[in-house]
Amino acid sequence: MATQKENAIGTSPSDALDRAFTLVHELTPQVVDHCDWSEIPTDMGNALLEYLATAHPLGDFLQAVVVGELHWAAARADLDNFDALGYFGRWILQSWPTDAYGSRKKLETWKGLAHAKAVREKLDWPAHLRANARRISGPEVVPPQPIADAADLPYQKRTDELAKGDVVVVDDERYTVDRVEQTDEAWVVERTNVANVRDIEVEKVTAGHWWHVLE
């Protein structure tokens, strides 16, 4: 049986397609892992991966699939693609960011995962994948970590032991520590929500305040 990458890329991979597959799998492995590659025609899978990665233009059939125009997709499909319509729909609904499909406007405004990574864009994933979707965060991609109830976590560090880059749990949310600074009044801790990079909090605490820190 062919591997996922062999199936997705086919027998004559282009450099662009190889980069698209690598990028999609690196940032959002669930997009690849949730696809039944044995049921989706290779050339269609290739085109959709390139669309996800770089917003590469799609043909009329795949535009109709991505937009959700079932009647137009069925009318434009050949026999193999017609038989695979259900697999296309299931793959998209179960594992794609909702920013990339569902309307003509989304099709026209989608700029690709590469762009989302470059501008640190927060994408909207299906509910069952939000905890596992990898965060688009500039030059690096932060792998997901399970969120444990704070009550079940040991207090591992005091404020004066915190360091930039530590991941702390506050109210069952993960935060990356961006700055720890001692002032005359208190210690200042600036942190960014791992799941929502727009959520930045600054807190003044004592040196002896204990934090739940993920290893």
* CATH code at 150-214: 2.30.30.30
* Spatial separation of the C-alpha atoms in residues 96 and 61, rounded to whole Å: 18
Question: What is the model's pLDDT at position 60?
Answer: 93
- Span(s) in the chain for CATH 2.30.30.30: 150-214
- The helix (H) or strand (E) run that includes residue 31 is helix 29-33
- In sequence order, the 6+-apart residues with CB closer than 8 A to the CB of 62 are 44, 47, 48, 51
Q: What is the pLDDT of residue 97?
A: 83
Could you report the average pLDDT of every consecutive run of 10 residues in the chain (215 residues)? Answer: 41 58 69 74 87 90 92 91 89 84 91 76 64 44 43 68 86 84 88 77 83 77
